Amino acid sequence: MLNELTGKRVLITGSTAGIGLATAKLFLQYGAKVGINGRNIIKDPDILAEFDALPGEYIQLGADLTQSSHCEKLVADFAEHFGGIDVLINNAGGLGGRSALENIDDVFYDGVMDLNVRSVVMVTKYAIPHLRRSAQESGKTSAVISTGSIAGRDGGGVGAGLYGSAKAWVHSIHRNWVKEFTGDNIRFNIVSPGSIDTAFHHGKSEEVLQKMRNSIPMGRFGTSEEVAPTYLYLASHSFSGYITGQIVDINGGQMAP
């Protein structure tokens, strides 16, 4: 059934590292046409050689998605290159630092919210006409899949309240978009990772990391490669054509909402 991903036009924000990069590789493995995005483009020759050896096609599109104008240009450039969009994965995001509530200022607030909320709203807004057309032309569903977080479920750690709430915001607006766009045959689902071993956790002490591992029934962080297949599943009409408005938690048992 995953043959249906061959030639699918899949734009993945935040796919130059971590979860997004593993997901991009997997879609390329199944022959998709993938838009690779990050604040910067990938220059590492080993990663590029790996991409080139896979059956799919890709284009690199650097953009700073904290800015609405970059969100618009990213979507336009991808759609122009591949002739449309079948699947949008809103994965760009991040902690944006930690701050106690009493120290939050406008710069910190805007930084966290622009990265985790504005990027999702604006990229999705500009992608909708393409996703609508994709569904009309295929007679099947097109898909938006956004990366949420366990922090959107439990509020986040101390100092990460804005980040956790921004992710909860993303979880919630998907429910709204299901109401607005199901008539257009666009599905909206969330992949909600727990603690995944990426740059997201760089800078934490071994003591903190061990404390985190101890809070996970599986006793370890997940890998990006363990998260990536769920995006494939939710992108495939054959596998998940009747699934919309859902949050899929991938967290080694850390939370069972």
Binding positions for ligand NAD, rule: CB under 6 A: 13-20, 37-39, 63-66, 91-94, 115, 147, 149, 193, 195-196, 198-200
Residues in contact with 205: Cβ distance below 8 Å, sequence separation at least 6, in sequence order: none
Contacts of 218 (CB under 8 A, 6+ apart): 252, 253
Task: Using the minimum distance from each CB to ligand NAD, give the nearer residue, 90 or 185.
Answer: 90
CA distance 39 to 61: 9
Shortest distance in whole angstroms from residue 123 CB to ligand NAD: 9
Question: Among residues 38 and 56, whose Cβ is nearest to ligand NAD?
Answer: 38
DSSP helix/strand/coil, 111: helix
Closest-by-Cβ residue to ligand NAD is: 18
- The nearer residue to ligand NAD, 4 or 226, going by C-beta atoms, is 226
Nearest distance, CB of residue 110 and ligand NAD, angstroms: 12
Residue 16 Cβ vs ligand NAD, minimum distance, rounded to whole Å: 4
DSSP class of residue 153?
H
CB-wise, 63 or 144, nearer to ligand NAD? 63
Phi, psi of 236 (to 5 degrees): -85, 120
The span from the CA of 26 to the CA of 135, in Å, is: 23
CA atoms within 13 A on the CB side of 216: 18
Minimum gap (Å) between residue 92 Cβ and ligand NAD: 4
Our CB check for ligand NAD shows the closer of 131 and 191 to be 191
